[in-house]
């Protein structure tokens, strides 16, 4: 695997942005990315005077790396969701550039789409533990719900009805509230 650096992340981001298909990533890209970010944080935390130029540069690199990583994930996620829609309809999208974690995400989305289709068009009752995944939009977060949550409405008028074991994407503000209340946890691709 190529060692992760901010320069490498920018290259991956540009590749992902400029092609309609998933670009090739190493199978352990996300693990390497997490390690890179942890090492930056560790290095930053070792600096006592946070006003030093080195501390400011590290803080900027951490913020930029996190933002770029989120953009890479969001671009890939959109392509995975589009491919899942094609697969649900019987198509055979090119999935050779998925990482193992993304393959799990893809299969989960396809299964959810197929179950949803069957439930709607063939009158089958939904299973209790069906995972509901909607396309993430900028600023959303993927969560796993830990307990039944009564239906609620957000400030934009969107209604949410969440059950234990659901995997959903929610606006970051709502997601953080649910995480802080310990009724949900952030779902990582490595899971």
Residues 86 and 16 in one domain: yes
Q: What is the pTM of this model?
A: 0.62
Same domain, 62 and 23: yes
Residues 112 and 44 in one domain: yes
pLDDT for residue 167: 85
Same-domain pairing of 97 and 65: yes
**How many domains does the structure of the chain reveal?**
2
What pLDDT, on the 0 to 100 scale, is given for residue 1? Answer: 58
Tokens of 40: 């930056």
Tell me: do 102 and 156 sit in the same domain.
no
The pLDDT of residue 22 is 94
pLDDT of the residue at 124: 61
Same domain membership, residue 83 and residue 52: yes
Residue 129 lies in a domain: no
Helix/strand/coil (H/E/C) assignment for every residue in 131-153: CCCCCCCCCEEEEEECCCEEEEE
Same domain, 64 and 105: yes
72 and 108 share a domain? yes
Q: Are residues 150 and 116 in the same domain?
A: no
CATH number at residue 156: 3.40.5.50
Structural domain including 155 reads 140-186
Alpha helices in the chain (DSSP H): 6-17, 29-46, 53-88, 100-121, 172-180
Please report whether residue 11 resides in a domain: yes
CB atoms inside a 10 Å sphere around CB 106: 20
Q: What is the pLDDT of residue 157?
A: 77
The CATH number of the domain where 99 resides is what? 1.20.58.1030
| Domain stops at, among 93, 121, 149 | 121
**107 shares its domain with 163:** no
Q: With respect to residue 130, please indicate whether it lies within any of the assigned structural domains.
A: no
- Separation CA 51–CA 121 (nearest Å): 61
Q: Do 165 and 113 fall into the same domain?
A: no
What residue ranges of the chain have pLDDT lower than 50? 128-137, 191
Asked if residues 26 and 3 have their Cβ atoms less than 8 Å apart, the reply is no
Closest by CA to 22, choosing from 73, 67, 56, is: 73
Q: 24 with 77, same domain?
A: yes
| pLDDT of res. 185 | 92
* Residue at 72 is within a domain: yes
């Amino acid at each position: 695997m190529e060692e992760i650096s901010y320069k490498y992340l920018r290259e991956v981001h540009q590749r992902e942005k400029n092609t309609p298909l998933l670009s090739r990533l190493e199978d352990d890209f996300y693990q390497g990315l997490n390690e890179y970010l942890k090492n930056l944080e560790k290095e930053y935390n070792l600096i006592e005077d946070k006003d030093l130029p080195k501390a400011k540069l590290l803080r900027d690199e951490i913020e930029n790396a996190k933002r770029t990583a989120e953009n890479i994930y969001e671009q890939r996620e959109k392509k995975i969701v589009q491919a899942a829609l094609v697969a649900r309809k019987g198509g055979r999208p090119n999935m050779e550039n998925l990482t193992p974690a993304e393959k799990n995400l893809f299969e989960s989305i396809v299964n959810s789409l197929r179950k949803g289709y069957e439930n709607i068009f063939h009158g089958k009752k939904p299973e209790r533990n069906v995972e509901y995944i909607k396309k993430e939009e900028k600023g959303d977060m993927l969560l796993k719900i830990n307990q039944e949550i009564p239906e609620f409405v957000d400030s934009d008028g969107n209604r949410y009805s969440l059950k234990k074991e659901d995997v959903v994407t929610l606006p970051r503000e709502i997601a953080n509230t649910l995480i802080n209340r310990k009724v949900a946890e952030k779902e990582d691709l490595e899971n």
